[in-house]
Amino acid sequence: MAETTTTTTETTTAETTKKIHLKSSDGEDFEVDEAVLLESQTIKHMIEDGCADSVIPLPNVTGKILAKVIEYCKKHLEAGDHNKASSSSSSLYSSSSSSFGVGDDDANKELQNWDKEFLEVDQDTLFDLILAANYLNIKSLLDLTCKTVADMMRGKTPEEIRKTFHIVNDYTEEEEAEIKRENQWAFE
């Protein structure tokens, strides 16, 4: 009898893990647990609307970026971050501990460290992650990637920002001087 119960439990667990197939813009196929993909509001709505029975094409996301997005979603699902959506964005902008308790503080710090390492990528990959997070409507990833870009600009002069992001200054010296005069408070 005990063996029958064990077999039934294993079968039930296997049946509850539904796989969703995704296809990136460059033709890469991904088979991902449905629970992981529920981090994306876009894919969640497709699943709810019955549009996920076959392959879901993602024409705006390459295979390289989709693999990173899936990695992020898996990690945050494992950490239980999807249940803390309202607190995740506020914790991104503060270094103070949350009020979830000591065990959760350690888990939050571990997740924050993982997020930091996850975003140690080149600038093009970071911008592609922003676009993918926006397209797939993954708020926590969008907040995290945008905060990373904001941190890259913090404390820099306009010229340093232009250099960092390869932005050409299309103002003449006269126009730039006029803007500085009009907005002198911002340059103090």
> pLDDT band for position 28 (50/70/90)?
very high
Q: What is the pLDDT of residue 104?
A: 67
Angle at 98 between CA 92 and CA 99, to 5 degrees: 155
What pLDDT, in 10s, does the model give residues 47-101? 999 887 889 999 999 999 999 999 999 999 998 854 454 344 444 544 433 334 4
| Helix%, strand%, coil% for the chain, nearest 5 | 65, 10, 25
Assigned token pair, 15: 């049946």
Do 17-154 and 155-188 come out as alike in CATH topology? yes
Whether the model clears a pTM of 0.85, i.e. scores above it, the answer is: no
Domain spans of the chain, in order of start: 17-154, 155-188
Rounded to whole angstroms, the Cα distance separating 170 from 96 reads: 41
CATH classification code of 17-154 = 3.30.710.10
The dihedrals phi and psi of 67, each to the nearest 5 degrees, come to: -60, -40
Assigned token pair, 164: 């960092």
Is the domain spanning 155-188 CATH 3.30.710.10? The answer is: yes
What pLDDT, in 10s, does the model give residues 149-163? 999 999 998 889 999
